[in-house]
Amino acid sequence: MEGDIATNNRKGFTLVEMTVVMAIIAVLMLLGAGGLLSARDQFTVDRAVEEAITAVREAQNRSISFMQGTPGTSGATTKVWGVDFSDNTIKIISVDGEGTNHLEKTAEINPGITITAEGGNHIYFASPFATTYLCQNEATIWSQSTDNPSKEYEPSDCLAATGDINLLIEYKDHTRSVTINQRGDANAN
């Protein structure tokens, strides 16, 4: 009779059973959280890539739309637009007729992002045709073309990039690249 009472009073789980179940749940949560963190880091890199491409396209569009009047004629105003990828930032800049660079906009990117520019860290678009200049430095001297007065402004102190500009955008263990070619096309890889 004592054996019957002991078996009938058992209405719960033992401490060992509860501990095993909680350990299994904890392991499953850790596995899922690792995947979520990795996906978040990849999203951070993807967003910075999109910001870089958007900045290049915005500078091109501003250069084309800013032209007022006929190039080489009195009253025509031209402004050069560009993107500065130095200092782990993405900055849209404008250059006035005296060659002075002005910060127009800074892209919002995660401060942990690292941007490495290979081949140059400045890209400029000169009106009216958004001619592309890939430079290894900040161009500060812009002048009207001497051989063709209807041609857009040209940088005379640009250390020309020797090919495409490749941006490596890194965050933790995730890396993507953006290639900007001589025509100003920006493509993510």
pLDDT digit string, tens, across residues 6-63: 555 667 888 898 999 999 998 888 877 777 778 889 999 999 999 999 998 898 888 8
d(C-alpha 124, C-alpha 139), whole Å: 9
Q: 25 and 33 in contact (C-beta within 8 Å)?
A: no
| Residues in Cβ contact with 66 at an 8 Å cutoff, skipping those fewer than 6 apart | 77, 78, 79, 81, 127
Using pLDDT thresholds of 50, 70 and 90, give the confidence band for residue 176.
very high
Segment 105-109 mean pLDDT: 87
* CA distances from residue 68 to 22, 65, 72, 78, 149 in whole angstroms, order as listed: 70, 8, 11, 7, 15
Largest CA distance in the chain: 114
| Whole-number average pLDDT of the chain | 77
| Closest among 86, 76, 90, 82 to 62, alpha carbons compared | 82
